[in-house]
């Protein structure tokens, strides 16, 4: 094999993937909750992948690796959304009123409002 003709591919990076999806969602004004649903997976999808692995159509180790990667991407994506919303909250006109309230800083990760 001529190694000079083999393309080099870096391993998938959850930080890079999350950053890319976050900025893409921001750019097109996508709903962050919809993006979370796209990144995540349902239990039915997990079972389907496991079925394919059980039938020998997918490597079982790959199924777990894929799902763990998606979990890490979702975690990083949520962190980016939380950070962005925290900054926007700090600079909003009513930020001082919110800071004085007792229940400031709820889980920002669950916001479904697109950022502009």
**Residues 102-113: pLDDT tens digits?**
343 334 444 444
Task: Render the burial of 44-74: b for 16+ CB within 10 Å, e for the rest.
Answer: eeeeebeeebeeeeeeeeebeeebeebebbb
**Residues 53-90: pLDDT tens digits?**
999 999 989 999 999 999 999 999 999 999 998 988 88
Residue 46 lies in a domain: yes
Structural domain for 65, as ranges: 13-90
| pLDDT of residue 101 exceeding 80 | no
Residue 1 lies in a domain: no
Give yes or no for a contact between 108 and 81, defined as CB atoms under 8 angstroms apart.
Answer: yes
Give yes or no for a contact between 52 and 58, defined as CB atoms under 8 angstroms apart.
Answer: yes
Looking at per-residue pLDDT, the higher value among 48 and 1 belongs to: 48
Q: Tell me the C-alpha distance between 18 and 115, whole Å.
A: 16
Residue 79 lies in a domain: yes
Residue 32 lies in a domain: yes
| pLDDT of residue 4 exceeding 70 | no
What is the tally of structural domains in the chain? 1
The predicted pLDDT at position 57 comes to 93
Of the chain, the percentage scoring pLDDT greater than 70 comes to 71
Give yes or no for a contact between 77 and 35, defined as CB atoms under 8 angstroms apart.
Answer: yes
Residue 34 lies in a domain: yes
- What is this structure's pTM? 0.68
Torsion sign across C-alpha atoms 35, 89, 115, 11: negative
């Amino acid at each position: 094999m001529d190694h000079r003709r083999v393309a080099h591919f870096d391993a998938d990076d959850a930080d890079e993937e999350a950053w890319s999806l976050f900025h893409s969602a921001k750019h097109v004004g996508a709903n962050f909750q919809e993006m979370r649903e796209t990144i995540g997976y349902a239990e039915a999808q997990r079972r389907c992948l496991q079925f394919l692995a059980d039938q020998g159509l997918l490597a079982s180790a790959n199924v777990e690796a894929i799902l763990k990667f998606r979990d890490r991407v979702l975690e990083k994506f949520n962190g980016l959304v939380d950070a962005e919303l925290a900054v926007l909250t700090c600079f909003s006109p009513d930020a001082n009123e919110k800071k004085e309230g007792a229940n400031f800083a709820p889980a920002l990760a669950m916001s479904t409002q697109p950022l502009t």
